[in-house]
Amino acid sequence: MATSAAQNLPARNARLQLAGTRSLVGAWAKISILQYFLAEAAVIAGWAGPLPYSRRLDVISDLGARSCGVYDGRAVCSPLHILMNVSFIVQGVAMMVGAVLLSTALFRIAARPEPPTAVKRPGWAILTRLLVGLSGLGVMVVGFVPEDVDTPLHFAGASVFFVAGGLSLLALWWSWRRLRLISWFLLLCGTLSLVSTILFALVPALERGTLERLMAYPITLGLSLVGVTVTRGVRQARQNIRKDAVARSRSSPS
C-alpha cells in the first residue's frame, strides 16, 4: 500500500499543480495571443499608403513602421503603427508568461487532469518552454524596434520568433504525440511555419505577405490551442479535486 501511494504521489502533485491559479493564468496568457489577429485587421483598415495593403504582397512588419516612406521597394504608411507594435509586445509578453507559468510537468503530461504516475524524460518539455520564451522575446523585439528604426535588429527579432516558435510546436508535438490528438495539428502548424520560413529566405520571388503569414499564423494558432487545452485540463482537475474532497468527507466517520 505504501509503495502504491508513493507511486501515485507524482500524479497527485501534478493534478494539484494543474488545478492551481498559476496554470490557469499561464493558459490564458497563451490564449491571449489571439489578440494579434484583431490588431492586424484594425491596422490594415487604417492603412494610408498609395496602394491598398495586401496580405498577399505586403509583409507584416510594414504595419508597424513608424514613418511613411519606401522600404525595400514597398510604399509604406501605417497611421495605426502604435497599435500594431503594442500588439507585438503584448503577444511576446504573453508567450513568455505562459512559458514561465506552465510548468515542465504540465507540458509533458499534456495538461491531463489524471496524469501518468510518473513524468519521464522531461527534456522535450523543458526545451519547449525555452523555445516558446525565446520566440516571445523575438516578437517583443519586433514591437520595440520597427523595421524603419533598426532594420537588422528588427529582422533578427522576427527570425527568432519564427524559428523558435515553429520549433516549439514540433517539440510539443513530440512530447504530446501519444497523449493528445491535437499534437498532430501542432505538428502541421510547426512544419508549415518552418517550411514557409525556409522558402521566405530562399525564394524571394514568392509572395512575401502570403509566406510571412504562413510563418506567423500557425505559431499563434498552435500556441493558443495549447492554452485552450491547458484551460480545459485546469477545469477538469479542479472538478476532480472537489469530487475527491466530497467523497472523503462522506467516507470519514462523523
Handedness of CA 223, 229, 234, 237 (dihedral sign): negative
Amino acid at 161: F
- 6 found inside a domain: no
- 5 found inside a domain: no
pLDDT in tens, 191-232: 999 999 999 999 988 999 999 999 999 999 999 988 888 887
- 98 found inside a domain: yes
State the DSSP code for 71. E
Q: How many CB atoms lie within 10 A of CB 213?
A: 17
pTM of the model: 0.85
d(CA 150, CA 132): 24
Tell me the average pLDDT across 11-24.
Answer: 62
pLDDT at 3: 45
- 8 found inside a domain: no
Count structural domains, the chain. Answer: 1
- 2 found inside a domain: no
User: Terminal CA-to-CA distance of the chain, rounded, Å?
Assistant: 25
Q: Residue 170 above 80 pLDDT?
A: yes
Domain membership of residue 220 as a residue range? 13-110+119-244
State the DSSP code for 117. S
d(CA 22, CA 112): 16
pLDDT in tens, 73-123: 889 999 999 999 999 999 999 999 988 877 766 666 666 655 554 455 567
Half-sphere exposure of residue 7, counting CA atoms within 13 Å on the CB side?
6
What the block records as the C-alpha cell of 205 is: 520571388
Rounded to 5 degrees, what are φ and ψ at 73? 85, 5
- 1 found inside a domain: no
Taking alpha carbons only, the member of 235, 239, 121, 219 closest to residue 179 is 121
Helix (H) or strand (E) run with residue 175 in it: helix 151-176
pLDDT at 10: 52
> Which residues partner with 75 through β-bridges?
70
pLDDT at 126: 85
- 249 found inside a domain: no
pLDDT in tens, 120-159: 556 777 888 899 999 999 999 999 999 999 999 999 999 9
- 169 found inside a domain: yes
Half-sphere exposure of residue 18, counting CA atoms within 13 Å on the CB side?
31
Q: Residue 183 above 80 pLDDT?
A: yes
